[in-house]
Structure 1
Amino acid sequence: MSGPITLRTQKALVTRYKNSLATAIVQGASVLANEESPKMLAIEATALRETAALVEKALENFTKTADGMEEITEEQDKQIQAYVEEVQAVVANAETLLIRIGAKRTGLQEATPMDEGRRPTVTKKTIVELPEIPIPTFDGKITDSENFWALFDASVHSQDLTGLQKFNYLLKALKGSAREAIKRYPITEANYAAAVELLHSKFGDKDKLIRSLQTRKETASARNSQLTEQRRLLDYLFALVTQLEQNGIVLNGSFVAQKILAKFQPDLQRRLLKQRVVQGNSEELWAVKQLLTDLDTLIKTEEQVSEMLPENEAFRGGTKGRPPPRRYETTSGQRSQMRQNLCIYCSDTEHNSLRCPKVDSARNRREFLKEHKLCINCGKPNHISRECLRSGCTLCDGDKHHFSLCPKRLPTALSSAGPTKSAYTKSSRTTQQPKRADAKQPTSSAKTGAHCINSENK
């Protein structure tokens, strides 16, 4: 049985080798940047590889000793794990540098003319350095498993590397539950294959993946009716349906297609259904992939139209939130004047929102807009300022706030309106509501009647 003294001795040895490797990495990076001789690069790579092997062997002995200790506290276990990860990071840096040195050696060797007839154009092509392919990361989400292994296989697993090198790259790529799963294996060349097999069995369950994709498809929805949200929802569903089909789940038929279509705005639904009726398409053969393709065409058209129209004429996502049609229309000039004079805080037509005496501070006005779910930028419902298509304040360099909240307009407007007491404060919000235009006001006769009753009671 190993004890603390043995562990400390082995840790000291690992630390010494690790420091030597760190020095070798710095020297190797300098050689890589300045050396053009394949022979010198090979010498540096050999020294770096042998130093890294010493670190790995010492670290393997250290981890075996730590695993063999019977009495170890949770804090000590955390410290050992942190130390092991620190050493592994240095080894991984060395492995990366070795790959870069090897690539440069190969390029220089191929660039050396083999005979006098070699064309210089070939030499130029062989020394071109392609950008490094980034190694993907994986945190254990089963829906990301297929994409991760496809990229990791191309970048690392199928490359001409040792099992230990691949294990180091795998450790750097894993996070969360995926990294926790392979902690049971010491970092050795032989354990790489076992770690890969464990990850495939734990996070590559096809049935579980299909259930997860189906659930995400059923619960997918748009946050609001804006065109950008319709596009986001469509792209999300496209990815889910494609992944389901790659796993053998084909989504066809009217029932499934109608459920997915219902997730979009009514205006898009009507246009797509009308298109199908005109074309005489069969309900039984309605494929979800074709449905999404048709929706993509409609949304793409709306996006192009929105770019050409003024902001206030952009796609509004159906009729939700629009006022009902009026029997007697006013002229456009009258409507514009009414909108300008109608106060959004109390619906009074005698003053506009900037001069409202009932909600008279910027703070209370912001609270009013938030409580009534109105946009801070334009004062209209069904969206927030981040999604608002109207331009920002002209006096504040385009800042997104309503003109009645503008700090450059507000003091002047309120001083000209005269001193008033706000009717919308925190203490009165629950009992006092702002006066609406259609609220009935007490008449003079009602006041007189109340006065008479009070006189009789005296």
Structure 2
Amino acid sequence: MAELKSLIQERGTIRGRVTAFHKYMKITEAIDSKAMHKVQLNELQFKLERFQNLLTVFDEVQRKIELLSEDTLEQERQLQERETMENNFCSLIVQAQNIIESCIDAQKLNETNRNDGSLNSFESKSKSLNIKLPTINLPSFDGNYLKWLEFRDTFRSMVNENESIPKINKFHYLRSVLEGSAAVVIKSIEFSSENYDVAWDLLCQRYDNTRLLVNNHLRALFSFQPIARESHQSLRYMIDYFTKHLRALGTLKEPTSFWDTLIIFMMTTKLDGATSRKWEEHRNCLTEPPSLESFCEFLRNRADVLETVHFCKTEQPKTDKHVQSKEPKYTKAFVAANSSSKSCVICSKNHFLYECDKFKSKNVDARLSLVNKHKLCSNCFKSGHRPSRCFRKGCRICNAKHNSLLHKQLQENGTVNIDNNIPSPSSSSQGGSANEQVSLSAMMPGQVLLCTAQVRIVDPNSNKTYLVKALLDNGSQASFVTEELQRKINLPISHQNPMKVLGINNAVCAASQVCNIKMQSRVNSFHMMVSCLVIPHITNSLPNVEIDTSTLNLPANIELADPSFFNPSDIHILLGADVFWEIVHGHQIKLGRNKPTLQESRLGWLISGPTGVGSGSGVHNKICNFSRNINESLSRFWEIEELPPLNRQKFSKVDEGT
């Protein structure tokens, strides 16, 4: 009880000091902020700082009183006492801060008014130029020793040495810029103004280790990869790379000024053959050992020469903008085409050549003559290639590269033929029309996942974002977007001359519309602009069946790019090789044999590969890249596989194609 009584008396003393500060603030408020002298302002700042410290003392005294209070009613009364006192503290602190800020603003205004002439001139120039300086962002730090010195010096100059920033704000800034292992160092420290210095000192103790910093910079110098091919970019990168680490070592008090011979030797061993020969020729002309500065100057001059030669080679002659090239433009996307046209070249009816009664009624020589006349392949009856390059099997009777309808031993009745050469609707000639359907499928066992990711697409008009699923494919030279998504978001499109998209077997699909989309990552701040060709459809739902994820043993601490990768979903965007390697980076995680692989990317972790599901004797349709309208192809495939024995005298109508 004696201790409780002493604490209550101490609290009474604090209450008296609050009352005294309140009276002081009433007197200070009566003074005009413009008339307040600098001495009065300093006095107010000093008293405010002591008053803020008094709040900390009160908090500690009140906490002890509350712990010693055993009665419930007494505890509630003490809580009300705390609330009342804290409200008084807060109102007086805010009131004092407002007076200080208004006084500082008034002083700045007085200072500015002394130079009205120059100020008006500067303002008029600023308004005419409309200049806005960019915001300086605080550097982030993830625990990489190679980035510590830069982070330490920058944060110290921008935050630590800025006395106008309260320590609680400095602590907030520090926590916001730390990532990974660096954030873990101060994670357990309580967030308060008193603990800011503790957190900063702890961070410096952890990473301001001179020995480790020196080791990491030396390791970086020795691990520089040799230059494989002579180029101005690689030479300039080498200069910047070695200079950066040598300066860091100099900051760490290492005698780098005496390392010229060693560094020159290290750098020459990393040069490409052509530059190394040029350096040896230059060195033979020197009378004294070269310095590191002279060696770097040689590399800079060499880079300038290579850059000049490069631009001279790549500069294209100017052409008249009204003259358009007659050469068609192509982009490759590995697809096959499913032609919607099957017009017969003999009778112009809607059937394939091998189904034409007029063609089958002729003898073998007449059939061969018609095939040569129309420049068709004598093996599959399609145009655009020779029999030697035809991927279809040859005659089922003699195995030669011709259709069974052209076999010399066959009679004119045309009743005997083996349907191994029925042209599948999924094949196309090299000169496919613009309305051909894009597809690419393969028949193989098991389920295989393709790389998909959920991304956000920004509406350029309203800045609203839409979450869609994208397919990542570095086998395509271009990126694509569906007409459905383009219409839904109302993305602006530009028209161009029809571009032929070439695929497997030189299948062709035309695209004449291009739109630029702004894509954002779902898991971080990564974003980029992607130029896409607009096409009606990309692929069917991926995956084609639902995947059981319980057998994949996915790690629990990763952020998947597509959390619903196991559910069949529509694909609205295909990201090709033009942006693929800007997205994919980092590490891989193997989930095991006959299981998919996880690939780190800026969109999250991508998952792709075999799932080990459905790998029995059954055959499943596998989407390799694009797939559309392949049902007819599959049905004909199974018809081929169910052919009757060769000794049968009659065949079905479909069999009569070869």
| Structure (1/2) with the larger strand percentage | 2
The TM-score, its normalising length taken from structure 2, stands at 0.33
Q: Higher relative contact order at CA 8 Å, sep ≥6: structure 1 or structure 2?
A: 2
| Structure (1/2) with the larger helix percentage | 1
Whose radius of gyration is greater, 1 or 2?
A: 2
The TM-score, its normalising length taken from structure 1, stands at 0.43
